[in-house]
Amino acid sequence: MKTPTELDRYRQVAPQLYELLRNKIVSLELPPGTPLSRVELSAQFRVSQTPVREALLRLAEERLIDVFPQSATRVSLIDTHIAEEAHFLRRAIELEIVRDLALHNTAELLADLKALLDRQVLLRDSQDLSGFAETDQAFHRYMYEATGKEALWKLVRSRSGHIDRLRRLHLPAAGKINRIVSDHSQIFEAIKRGDAAGAQQHLRTHLSGTLEYMGQIRADHPQFFTAA
């Protein structure tokens, strides 16, 4: 079994490094402000600096790292303006997606969404926050895939690093994971009964859940946020 720092040498290295580092950043394993050294990453993963540079460039494009030429590279601080823009984009797209799913639901769709919900409940009960966060994302990603909008999921994901970190900071809050499960269940039930307006309303409520608490999250973790 591969350790988290081992790579598949039969696949391109740069995309693997990008995914691995991105997951560490979004999960806060690499917290905002953490310095990153290209030399040290090359040594850690036993690769040349070229794929490391390529991975860091992709992360910089997503504004998940800040690169200061001839100085330093660090994990970016959370920018609430970027988070709000990502929320706006995701809400606009997903409102149409859940409407489409409600109007054209299928037995296969409902079975797959229910399986993801059941997995979330298990992860909630076992207090596996990392697994729960991954399944939360999988629930939404599946809805994009089910409507043939995989490219839009990639777009949303590439813009969502800052709000995803906000959500990760908020996840341990009392009642948060229960609210996520409840929100997803309500979205699912609305899709199941063909209630497009209900699915949209529950989704709108669900996606706003973290932004409602942004002030408190920022107050609890001021060192992780930009000053503006």
Q: Is residue 183 part of a domain?
A: yes
Q: Is residue 7 part of a domain?
A: no
Residues 65 and 161 in one domain: no
Q: Is residue 8 part of a domain?
A: no
DSSP per position, 91-128: HHHHHHHHHHHHHT--HHHHHHHHHHHHHHHHHHHTT-
Domain span at residue 39 reads 13-75
Token output for 59: 């992360």
Query: Taking Cα atoms as reference points, which of 209, 204, 205 lies closest to residue 96?
Result: 204
3-state secondary structure at position 226: coil
Residues 171 and 205 in one domain: yes
Query: pLDDT means per 10 residues in the chain (228 residues)?
Result: 58 93 97 95 92 96 92 94 96 98 97 97 95 96 97 97 96 95 98 98 95 94 92
- Supply the pLDDT for residue 69: 81
CATH number of the domain enclosing 113? 1.20.120.530
Q: Is residue 69 part of a domain?
A: yes
pTM of the model: 0.91
- Supply the pLDDT for residue 5: 55
**Using an 8 Å Cβ cutoff, are 190 and 102 in contact?**
yes
Q: How many domains does the chain have?
A: 2
Distance in angstroms (rounded) separating the CA atoms of residues 64 and 79: 10
